[in-house]
Amino acid sequence: MKVENVVCPFCGCLCDDVIVYVEDGAIKGVEKACSIGRSLFLKHREDLSLPSIDGRETSIDEAINEAVNILRDKKHVLIYGLSSTSIEAQRKALELADLIGASIDQTTSICHGPTSLAIHQTGIPTCTLGEVKNRADVVVFWGSNPLEAHQRHYERYSLIPKGMFVTEGRRGRKLVVVDVRPTPSSRAADIFIQVRPGEDYEVLNALRYMLKGGKLDGEVGGVKVETLKSLLDIMLSAKYGVIFIGMGLTMTRGKYHNVEAALSLAIELNSHTRWSVVAMRGHYNVSGAGMVLLWQTGFPMAVNFSLGYPRYSPGEYSAVDLLRRKEVDAVLVIASDPVANFPREAVRNLLSLPIIAIDPKRSLTTMVAKVVIPTAKVGIETEGTAYRMDGVPIRVKKILNSIYPSDEEVLDRIIAKIKGEERNA
Amino acid sequence: MPNDSLIIKGGIVYDPLNGVKGSIKDIYVKDGKIVEDLSEEAAEVIDVTGMIVAPANVDIHSHIAGPKVNSARLMRPEDHLRDPLRRKNGLRSGCGFSVPTTFVTAYRYLLLGYGTVMDPAVPPLKARHALEELEDTPVLDKGIYILMGNNNILYYLLKKGDKKSAKLFAAWLLKSAGGYAIKVVNPGGTESFKWGKIFNSLSDDTIWGIKPKVVVDILNEVACEFKLPHPVHLHTYNIGIPGSYKAALDTINAFKDNRLHLAHLQYFCYGGDSWATFRSESVKVVEALSNYENITADMGQVIFVDTTTMTADTPWEFTLHKLAGGRWSNSDVELETGSGIVPYRYRMDNLVNSVQWAVGLEIALLLGPWRVFLTTDHPNGGPFYFYPEVIKWLTSADARKEMIEKIHPKAKKRIYLHNIDREFSLYEMITMLSAAPAKALGLKEKGHLGAGADADIAIYKPKGSVAETLSRVEYLIKDGRVVVRHGEIVDASYIGRIIRVDTGVDDSALSNEVRELFDKFYSVTFSNYKVEDVYFKREVVKRVV
Amino acid sequence: MREFCLITGRTIKQGITLHDGKTTEVYRNEVGIVYLNGEDMEELGIIEGSSVLLKTDYGQVVVRAVKGDLPKGMAFMPYGPWANMLTSANTHGTGMPDLKGIKLYIYPACEEVWDWKRVLEEVKSVEG
């Protein structure tokens, strides 16, 4: 059976034109997806997790009961992950956090969290990816390597496609890549600007300074001022420009200050011509996790409910900080792998705590978790909403059955048991 | 469902659509509807002797959900920190102030006696987002208006002169996005801002070479031919600037033969030719409107408070950003629209803001409760839960006088408000909050207490003044369920309905050309564009064909 | 001792092998890896594909060294458990730890590239 217009649940591109061939209840072929997307679909049944308690295989029901016991007993639970599951499950995770007075954080805190912090300061002029395709004649990727992290981004949205007003496609666009190292993405660029690591802030503010008429000589952040001047000229000559910002800005020294500089530059450019900024979001629904947190609590991450209302404090209620300071006594991980993704010191403290891991796949986190609850893979075995990196919500599909419940169902059953309303599976 | 039958006994009933003006009578409720009669044995009897019984309120224009509201939440953590709400009695926690969380939005509306709220500006590409937020806005019935005034496909078809395809496309779009009404915001203006231009006109050529009036005309035809319950909901051009009243007059003159709703009319009633000469011209706009019963409006009242402005009028938000300084967000949505957000504080010591405050009250008092409905264009003029303040000003000339003493001293010479003696009665206030907006929305089951109506009933304990009385319900019955009892929410566990329109225009009615435009210029495939049924868990579909 | 600048990031192979599983050999081969500038490798006497011991102020790990298109003085590792042995958990009050631009020291090693179990042993071994 050929299934068309399948949505790929891997990265923030959320490509929705994938073709999947299903035979005998299994995926036999994938077309149009990138190599990572193909791997995701074709290997989605490899290395699956199993329901277990303390490493012993058990039933889903037993695993859920044990999870409920832990969540009931502990004083300060951290709920973490969320970026690779559906809105429906994320909503339940928030309800649970509110119910048990937990801290809740999502993977954005180690991804584009600093971008949110910068938006608090400046706001953000942004646009959807179709707007990039239709209008953008200059695109700048700053600290981002789409050809490896968002492989079809150039092809579908930002560089190659012929749009309504950029009718020539690639020839109608100028591509600028700014990074600390050459990458496949920079090799495709018309202009590659190599910045010294940790000096993006200086370079961005040099551009702002020159935009306001300031004069500079020599170099800034390892880049010749003449190069920056010509970049600024290109920016000013754009009809519609877009800066895509990546981890190169959020994870380095300066963090949200770097993003704030990029946003300020874009805002100031709007007094001359149109510029937007789009964050290159990693996981396919990390954007959605932020959305749900915002509409239910007002804040995009790092929320604590221990006083009965949402309190926001990145650096305090963010997962890495809570773990580093040993402030939680249990961790519920939903569709994420903090044991693999957190810095060593945070992982060490995480390993000393009871972990409940809800995940279709085996991961380092499921390997060390006290309780493992396998679930159906969103976008293959269960449907749901996901938000693309530009905030466009798309329905991801169910194309196969799973013997396991969805993340949403598992969380719903946990909530019901904690509230004392038994619900049947 | 608890208590599918209710008798609301002994209350003083106000039901303007049925001409009931403060009579003592019982209201019978069965299976979520109001019925003629009911035997007492089978029903829960709620004794409301001495209390005011009225239809639940209806908000015709309030930005409560969706992409730009959420972007505003992201932009303003400090706004939430000042107004946290604890979880209690099974209610969810959250934050309030100018961009409240979804649950808090619902709870505050319910305590004000509301049963239905319409979000007036949703880009079809992001309709799922608005609908998901509305699912987390429990109990209330909700609908969304679909932004069409800057739609590129519509412009393309109109430029070709293919009016038939344009109309079918608009009707298809309304259905596909799950909308209740057509929304138009600064037609041509939002599109022009994508080109870095500020454009404000009905009669000049847009960047597409067609005039905005042509776009609105065609959408009016869609509303008329498809018998949409609510007419085109129009936010016209030149919002908020000195001389904006001319845009209002131009708009009224252009569309006087149609049914039409003018959104947040207050912002379009300013005279003067600069900020220094800014003044009220509400009288001129009211005069122009007085002959056209077919045109309704809502206030867009300004409150002196720190709030967040948000609109699809992107050139206006950019202008405001330049005027006010500080943070600015903008989001351009492919082929459809855009939105802008700027935090803003209305200040009593500011002359312009003082005039704005007076203008909203002037148009309401001069045109009356059947023509102009209470809104603050939440949160643009201020948060909706400041409505009791507005009710105080509408029902008490003394309260207005007191305010006029407090506002900017030069304002008095620029406004008419001090010359208006009218004070709305309780009956008129209930009309303005429930019967009149329900009628303008074409919601036949809402806004009245006759047999067959939805059992959405607000019950108030009389207090010292009309405003105090209406500031919090003693009971709220929603679909026959007791949601508020003794002034506290007791049941907010169900999700409320989505009210939408089915124009009957399916994919097959779209021309190949439109399908090709989709494939070429959208970033999602056609089959993943339309909102799936799963987003309407409880719904009322108005089939209009 | 020469100081390097450690940058972490995504690679296609990391994304592909992630779906084979994080405890698999193919994943270790693609993620338990550091890319270095060719001249730097010569200077340090590191042979393509051999093991190296990496150390930062925050930890250590043994991975495979491979030549990459990088400026001199820079080391690149794919996101994953190996890189995170070297990153700092200090978020400076932002929630975001230092995941790029970390001072790194490189030593030739004869040990095999650590597998995930050895990585977790190392995590636990450090006093906190």
Judge: B523–A308 Cβ closer than 8 Å, yes or no: no
**Partner A, chain B 7-66, Cβ-Cβ below 8 Å:** 65
B450 SS3 class: coil
Strand A138-142 vs strand A240-245: parallel, antiparallel, or unpaired? parallel
Of C17, C58, C96, nearest to A255 by CB-CB distance is C96
Distance CA B496, CA B473 (A): 19
Statement to judge: residues A317 and A388 lie in one domain: yes
- Read off the CATH number of the domain in which C50 is found: 2.40.40.20
C55 touches chain A (CB under 8 A): no
Q: Residue B44's beta-bridge partner residues?
A: B6
**B24-B30-B34-B38 Cα dihedral, nearest 10 degrees:** -40
- Local structure of residue A397 (DSSP, 8 states): P
- Tell me the nearest-neighbour CA distance from A420 into chain C, angstroms: 35
Give CA separation, A411 vs A78, A88, A338, C40, in Å: 15, 10, 19, 51
Q: How is A86-99 classified by DSSP, letter by letter?
A: -HHHHHHHHHHHHH
Q: How many domains does chain A have?
A: 2
Residue with tokens 């002037």: B362
CA end-to-end distance (rounded Å), chain B: 33
DSSP strand pairing (C74-78 vs C4-9): parallel
Per-residue pLDDT tens for C93-127?
A: 999 999 999 999 999 999 999 999 999 999 998 77
Instruction: Give the Cα separation of B109 and B226 in Å (integer).
Output: 31
Q: Note whether C95 contacts A250, CB cutoff 8 Å.
A: no
Query: Which residue shows structure tokens 């805190």?
Result: A109
Angle between helices B163-176 and B212-225 (to 10 degrees): 70
Q: Judging by DSSP bridges, how do beta strands B20-30 and B33-35 pair with one another?
A: antiparallel
Spatial distance between the Cα atoms of A55 and B33, rounded to a whole number of angstroms = 55
d(CA A104, CA A311): 10
Report yes or no on A75 lying in a domain: yes
Cβ neighbour number for residue B336 with a 10 Å cutoff: 29
Do A90 and A132 lie in one domain? The reply is: no
CA angle B488, B494, B499 (to 5 degrees): 110
SS3 A376: coil
CB A252 within 8 A of CB B300: no
Determine, for residues B194 and A7 on separate chains, whether the beta-carbon distance falls below 8 Å. no
Chains A/C: 3 or more C-beta pairs closer than 8 A?
Answer: yes
Q: Chain C: nearest CA to A202, how far in angstroms?
A: 15
Q: Which tokens hold the place of A275?
A: 């510029």
- Provide the ipTM: 0.97
Does B65 sit within 8 Å of A295, measured CB to CB? yes
Cα–Cα distance for residue pair B357/B295, rounded to 1 Å: 23
Domain finish residue from A237, A254, A279: A279
Considering only CB atoms, which chain A residues are within 8 Å of C21?
A: 46-47, 361-362
Q: Is B227 on the interface with A (CB under 8 A)?
A: no
From the number of C-beta atoms within 10 Å of its C-beta (0-12, 13-18, 19+), residue B324 rates as middle
The reply to whether A42 falls in a domain is: no
Read off the amino acid at residue A29. G
Last residue of a domain, one of A254, A279, A304: A279
Instruction: Give strand pairing partners of B533.
Output: none
Helix (H, G, I), strand (E, B) or coil at A413: helix
Among the partner residues B318, B342, B522, nearest to A270 by beta-carbon distance: B318
**Does residue A24 sit within a domain?**
no
State the best of A13, A251, A352, A367 to mutate against chain C, taking most chain C CBs within 10 Å: A251
Q: Amino acid identity, residue B537?
A: K
**Residues A230 and A167 placed together within one structural domain of the fold:** yes
C-chain CB neighbours of A255 within 8 Å are 92, 94, 96
Q: What pLDDT was estimated at residue B3?
A: 61
Q: Which of C24, C86, C95 sits opposite A320 (nearest CB)?
A: C95
Q: What is the reported pLDDT for B495?
A: 87
Smallest Cβ–Cβ distance between A310 and the set B78, B94, B341 belongs to: B94
Tell whether the torsion through CA atoms of A126, A127, A129 and A134 is positive or negative: negative
In a domain? residue A44: no
Separation of alpha carbons C36 and C107, rounded Å: 12
Q: Which residue has the tokens 């008329």?
A: B224
- What residue ranges define each of the domains in chain B, with the CATH number in brackets? 5-55+445-489 (2.30.40.10), 59-441 (3.20.20)
Collect all residues of chain A within an 8 Å Cβ-Cβ radius of residue C23. Answer: 47, 362, 364, 367
Q: Check CB contact under 8 Å for C128 and A198.
A: no
Q: Using the Cα atoms of residue B506, residue B510, residue B512 and residue B515 in order, give the sign of their dihedral.
A: negative
Which segments of B307-423 does DSSP mark as H helices, in order? Answer: 314-324, 351-367, 387-395, 397-406
Residues of chain C with Cβ-Cβ distance to A343 below 8 Å are: 58, 84, 87-89, 97-99
Predicted confidence (pLDDT) per residue in B149-199, tens digit: 999 999 999 999 999 999 999 999 999 999 999 999 999 999 999 999 999
> What are the phi and psi torsion angles at B441 (to 5°)?
-85, -10
Q: Is the dihedral of CA B495, B500, B504, B508 positive or negative?
A: negative
Asked if residue A148 and residue A63 are part of one domain, the reply reads no
> If phi over 0 gives left and psi between -120 and 50 gives alpha, with beta otherwise, what is residue A39?
alpha
The angle formed by the CA atoms of residues B421, B425 and B427, to the nearest 5 degrees, is 150
Q: Which amino acid is at A364?
A: L
Residues A384, A378: contact at Cβ < 8 Å? yes
Taking CA–CA distances from C36, the nearest residue in chain A reads A181
**Residue A336's domain is classified under what CATH number?**
3.40.50.740
DSSP conformation letters of B476-516: EEETTEEEEETTEE----S--PEEEEE----GGGS-HHHHH
A81: left (phi over 0), alpha (psi -120 to 50) or beta: left
Does A205 lie in the same domain as A123? yes
Q: List residues bridging with A81 in a β-sheet.
A: A106, A334
DSSP bridge pairs for A193: A178
Look at residue C57 in the predicted model and tell me its pLDDT.
96
Which residues of chain C from 58 to 87 reach within 8 Å of chain A, CB to CB?
58-59, 69-71, 74, 76, 79-81, 84-87
Two structure tokens written together for B142: 């909700």
Interatomic CA distance for residues A291 and B73, integer angstroms = 10
Domain containing A402: what range? Answer: 49-109+284-419
Beta bridge partners of A385: A395
Give all chains having 3 or more CB-to-CB distances under 8 Å with chain B: A
Which residues in chain C touch residue A314, judged by CB atoms under 8 angstroms apart?
A: 91, 93-95
Q: Answer whether C95 sits within 8 Å of A324, measured CB to CB.
A: no
Picking from C12, C95, C97, the nearest residue to A151 by CB comes out as C12
Residues of chain B contacting A123 with CB distance shorter than 8 Å: 75, 327-330, 341-342
A228: its two tokens: 């920056």
Q: Is C101 left (phi over 0), alpha (psi -120 to 50) or beta?
A: left
A128 and A95 in a common domain:
no
Per-residue model confidence as pLDDT tens digits over C73-84: 999 999 999 999
Instruction: State the Cα–Cα distance between residues B357 and C94, nearest whole angstrom.
Output: 41
A288 and A273 in one domain?
no
Residue ending a domain, among A219, A246, A279, is A279
Residue C5 forms contact with A (CB below 8 Å):
yes
Q: How far apart are CA A409 and CA A89, in angstroms?
A: 8
CA–CA distance, A243 with A257 (Å, rounded to integer): 16
Mean pLDDT, 10 residues at a time, over chain A (425 residues)? 97 98 97 98 94 98 98 97 98 98 97 98 98 98 98 98 97 98 98 97 98 97 98 98 98 96 98 98 98 98 98 98 97 98 97 98 97 98 98 98 97 96 56
Same domain, A258 and A297: no
DSSP state of B435: I
Q: Please give the Cα distance from C29 to C13 (Å, whole number).
A: 10
Judged by CB atoms closer than 8 Å, whether chains meet at A251 and C100 is answered as: yes
**Cα–Cα distances in angstroms (integers) from residue B422 to residues A422, B21, B222, B368, B369, in the given order:** 58, 19, 38, 10, 12
Under-70 pLDDT residues of chain B:
1-3, 544-545
Cis peptide before B67 (omega within 30 of 0): no
- Measured CA to CA in angstroms, residue B341 lies from B327, B332, B345 at distances of 8, 12, 13
Please, what is the Cα angle at B197 between B194 and B198, to 5 degrees? Answer: 110
- Domain span at C37: 4-125
What is the rounded distance in angstroms from the CA atom of residue B28 to the CA atom of residue B455?
9
Same domain for A239 and A165?
A: yes
Does residue A338 share a domain with residue A300?
A: yes
Please, is B54 exposed, middle or buried when counting C-beta atoms within 10 Å of its C-beta (0-12, 13-18, 19+)? buried
Cβ of A125 and B328 within 8 Å? yes
Counting one residue from chain A and one from chain C, the pairs whose CB atoms sit within 8 A come to 182
Token pair, residue B188, equals: 């041509």
First-to-last C-alpha distance (Å) of chain C: 27
Instruction: Report pLDDT for C5.
Output: 98
Of A47, A318, A347, the CB nearest to C20: A47
- pLDDT of residue C46 exceeding 60, the answer is yes
* Spatial distance between the Cα atoms of B300 and B243, rounded to a whole number of angstroms: 17
> What total of structural domains would you count in chain C?
1
The predicted pLDDT at position C128 comes to 59
AA letter at C85: M
Give the chains touching C; criterion: ≥3 Cβ pairs < 8 Å.
A
Which chain A residues are Cβ-neighbours of C74 within 8 angstroms?
180-181, 197
Same-domain pairing of A197 and A104 = no
Q: Which of A286, A290, A294, A262 is closest to A276 using CA atoms?
A: A262
Residue among A113, A344, A348 whose CB faces C94 most closely: A113
Cα–Cα distance, B512 to A73 (Å, whole number): 61
CA C113 to chain A, closest CA, distance in angstroms equals 16
- C/B Cβ contact: 3+ pairs below 8 Å: no
- Cβ–Cβ gap C98/A301 under 8 Å: no
Please check whether residues A309 and A410 belong to one and the same domain.
Answer: yes
Separation of alpha carbons C19 and A356, rounded Å: 21
- A contact test, residue of B523, B527, B532, B535 with most A CBs within 10 A: B523
Asked if B525 and A156 come within 8 Å (Cβ–Cβ), the reply is no
Q: Which pLDDT value is given to residue C126?
A: 75
